[in-house]
Chain A
Amino acid sequence: MGQISLQGVRKSFGPVNIIKGADLDIEDGSFVVFVGPSGCGKTTLLRLIAGLEDVTGGKILIDGKNVVDVPPAKRGLSMVFQSYALYPHMSVRGNIAFGLKMAGLPRDDINRKVEAAAATLNLTPYLDRKPRELSGGQRQRVAIGRAIVREPKAFLFDEPLSNLDAALRVQMRLEVTRLQKQLATTAIYVTHDQVEAMTMADKIVVLNAGNIEQYGSPLELYERPANLFVAGFIGSPRMNFISGDIARQHSAATIGVRPEHLRIDREGQGWPGTVAIAEHLGSDTFLYVDAGQIGTLTVRYVGELDLAAGDSVSLSPDPSRVHRFAEDGSSIRA
């Protein structure tokens, strides 16, 4: 089983506190994504769970057992690295088989499992090639094959798709999700791309400067962000934030409205503004509106809207979708 808990986990490098105290409970079989800006500590947290770094304090429990003093080789986890980290001197078969060889499995079992994993990942024709003879996507799959073949308690992914081109990334996203569902193994996935996070995760952990800002399902994060940071991080294009008088009217220090929740008309009683830039994608229209004192607001309209730069518009937010935030950034729930 692959239930993982973090209790008060801290990590410092000398005087620098990278992780400031993380508490987390990850259910067995769930797909959890660690997301956040560069330097937030998501990769460090992953490596602490893997055992590649020592914790400065706290406990890491795998199925109830504290593994803080257990070396990575004995934690029963698999990791897929951003650079794939394939063994250059071994064939694909050798790469996938290595972990099983370390575990001391008999030769026949190893071959059987390697071939099964290769079949799942469409790697069978490449089994005897060396990594340098493979494309980026193929190497990626070998890295995944190496991870799944050991039937670990959990998979750890460190930004595995960032080195792939856009089209391949979308395709691999689906494959990874499908695979995880099929194997029903816990997966912890680190990424800086919030779209990846939203589409793949059962639950998301949003990290900022070593703190866990929020832990919840994608929809929870979208509809009920815990604070300004999460609200601004999740959702693309970014939520519009307005402070000042308008915020005070809503009894808050800051209010936030997502671009898709702003209604836009040529005329009306809402906030007046002028279109600065209009982006017509066919499926959506994105408008960047200069609303004077309020600032620049982003609007998303599903479908085609015939507006261009220079047009005057009136914006009004959907009242049930206005998020309110206090002075300290935390959200105010009604």
Chain B
Amino acid sequence: MARMVTTKRVIVSTGAAWLFGFLIFFPILWMILASFKTELEAFATPPSFLFFHWTTENYATVQERSDYVHHAVNSILIAGGSTLIAMLIAVPAAWSMAFAPTRRTKDILLWMLSTKMMPPVGVLVPIYLIYRDFGLLDSRAGLVFILCLGNLPIVIWMLFTYFKEIPKDILEAARMDGATIGRELVYVLAPMAVPGLASTMLLNFILAWNEAFWTLNLSTLQAAPLTVFIASYSSPEGLFWAKLSAASTLAIAPILVLGWFSQRQLVRGLTFGAVK
């Protein structure tokens, strides 16, 4: 901005923005606070905001429950596994569409995006039956596979856009310098594509971690990730708010941090380029 912004404007904007931000963030904040309260405190009315007996007993309880750790590990394996496999399939595909396009390339790309628009519930029945018959229900492999397929279009799309941003003439320079296609990929393209690859993996890890349709329907115990674990708090016995809060905070904390770094990727990946 070339001109001086009035102080009044800054004050009003700052005040309003912080107010809105706080209001929107409040439920998360409230949950984090609750995680440090005793169950009685958490359930008590009137609710206490800051001046209560802070305790980490809920975190201890949650950590001690071996099934919490088990589910967390599942989340990591499933989100990580599906992202990695998706990348293995998507990188060559996106490379080919970005650097060796044909007249059909645009149509193929749009078709791929359209597969993401299919409602998962439309194929719930066959998938469930196939999984049941092949023993894939409640298996990590099964979840990895389906989450991978679900996110594949987004991964391909994002990689495609990142690859297209690599200046073509740098790759041609490598060819003139005597690099075969393989070496062009390894020595020139890959290093330049690393930031894009990292961003794509990050966003997809997040999307897979938070996925709450297939995980809820295709797993029960063995392979259940944290989404399912938290869902088990929907019909518990006794006081559970503080424990729920602690478990939830642990479940979302890593993603909140990663999500902060993924804002731009979010726009890129989920609007399919329709917004610049």
Contacts and interface: CB of A to CB of B under 8 A. Distances in A.
Direct A–B touching, Cβ under 8 Å: yes
A103 B178 contact: yes
Contacts, number: 60
A225 B147 CA distance: 69
A284 B178 CA distance: 49
B198 to A, nearest CB: 14
A98 B172 contact: no
Contacts of B192: 87-89
Contact of A52 (B167, B170, B175, B187): B175
B173 to A, nearest CB: 4
Contacts of B179: 73, 98, 102
A227 interface: no
A89 B191 CA distance: 7
Nearest to B171: A85
Interface in B144-199: 167, 169-170, 172-180, 183, 187-188, 191-192
A72 B170 contact: no
Contact of A73 (B178, B187, B188): B178
A71 B183 CA distance: 14
Contacts of A73: 175-180
B177 to A, nearest CB: 4
B178 A79 contact: no
A99 B173 CA distance: 9
Nearest to A102: B178
Interface string A314-326: 0000000000000
B147 to A, nearest CB: 32
A146 B180 CA distance: 17
Interface in A53-100: 71-74, 77-79, 81-83, 85-89, 98-99
Nearest to B173: A85
Contacts of A83: 167, 169
A186 to B, nearest CB: 15
Given A83-B167, A85-B167, A89-B192, A102 B173 contact: no
Nearest to B175: A72
Nearest to B184: A73
Contacts of B183: 102
Contacts of A102: 177-179, 183
Given A52-B175, A73-B175, A98-B187, A86 B180 contact: no
- Which among B169, B172, B177, B187 has the highest number of chain A CB atoms within 10 Å? B177
A117 interface: no
A87 B173 contact: yes
Nearest to B188: A87
Contacts of B177: 73, 78, 98-99, 102, 146, 150
Nearest to A149: B177
Given A83-B167, A83-B169, A89-B191, A98 B174 contact: yes
Contacts of B180: 73
B115 to A, nearest CB: 30
A79 B173 contact: yes
A50 interface: yes
Contacts of A98: 174, 177, 179, 187
B161 to A, nearest CB: 18
Contacts of A99: 176-178
B176 A78 contact: yes
A79 B167 contact: no
A72 B176 contact: yes
B170 A79 contact: no
Nearest to B177: A99
A228 B22 CA distance: 74
Contacts of B187: 98
Contacts of A50: 176
B230 to A, nearest CB: 42
A86 B187 CA distance: 13
Interface of B: 167, 169-170, 172-180, 183, 187-188, 191-192
7 contacts: A52-B172, A73-B176, A73-B177, A73-B178, A98-B179, A99-B178, A146-B177
**Which 4 pairs, one residue from A and one from B, show the smallest C-beta to C-beta distance?**
A99-B177, A102-B178, A85-B173, A85-B169
Given A73-B176, A73-B177, A85-B170, 14 more contacts: A52-B175, A72-B176, A79-B172, A79-B173, A81-B169, A81-B173, A83-B169, A87-B170, A88-B192, A89-B191, A98-B179, A98-B187, A102-B179, A150-B178
Interface of A: 50-52, 71-74, 77-79, 81-83, 85-89, 98-99, 102-103, 146, 150
